[in-house]
Amino acid sequence: MARVYLIDDNPRSHLFYSVERPVGVGSPNQRDDVLLVQFLLRVRAECGEGSAEYVPPGEQPLAMDGMCGPQTIKYIKQYQKIASQKNPAIPLVQDGVVSPVAAGTGGISGPVSGRMLCIAGLNSHYGKIRGKPATLDITKDPLFPLALRPYLKVAAS
């Protein structure tokens, strides 16, 4: 189940959206987790400065259907590649997977690689594109997939 973490010490947003289980290559790809990733990727690819770079060459707009097929994998890999190129000081794990943030760790880095997790990068880009209110509620976004709403679960950070 996609999770909403409440964070007390983040000046940008008190909300952090994470998948419960990995999404992408060789992952469980739970429908709600996939919907969250598709939504965040689609906002990045359609909105804000430089958005076109996040669209894989020759691809149509990302379908938000909750299924992790070839198109979603292409979008994940393109996001990881471009985000890492644009911010080489904080590169993303480039494995074609959006991994969850573990509760209580406060970590936005992968435990093995030490690189920023893709889900952390997606949250950061979302905040930069849509603004930085204290409680950024993605359910009010015009692109938010309504099918995801019942699955968002508030979790302790």
Domain ranges of the chain: 3-155
Output the tens digit of pLDDT for each of the chain's 157 residues.
677 665 555 555 567 888 999 999 999 999 999 999 999 999 999 998 899 999 999 999 999 999 999 999 999 999 999 999 999 988 888 899 999 986 554 555 544 455 688 998 998 888 888 876 545 678 888 999 999 988 887 765 5
- Encoding tokens for residue 61? 């707009």
Using H for helix, E for strand and C for coil, what is the string for the chain? CCEEEECCCCCCCCEEEECCCCEECCCCCCHHHHHHHHHHHHHHHHCCCCHHHHCCCCCCCCCCCCCCCHHHHHHHHHHHHHHHHHCCCCCECCCCEECCCCCCCCCCECCCCCCECHHHHHHHHHHHHHCCCCCCCHHHCCCCCHHHHHHCEEECC
By the 8 A CB rule, do 54 and 43 touch?
no
Within a 10 A sphere around the Cβ of 151, how many other Cβ atoms? 17
Taking the C-alpha atoms of residue 56 and residue 114, their distance in angstroms, rounded to an integer, is: 26
138 C-beta neighbours (distance < 10 Å), count: 20
What's this model's pTM, rounded to 2 decimal places?
A: 0.88
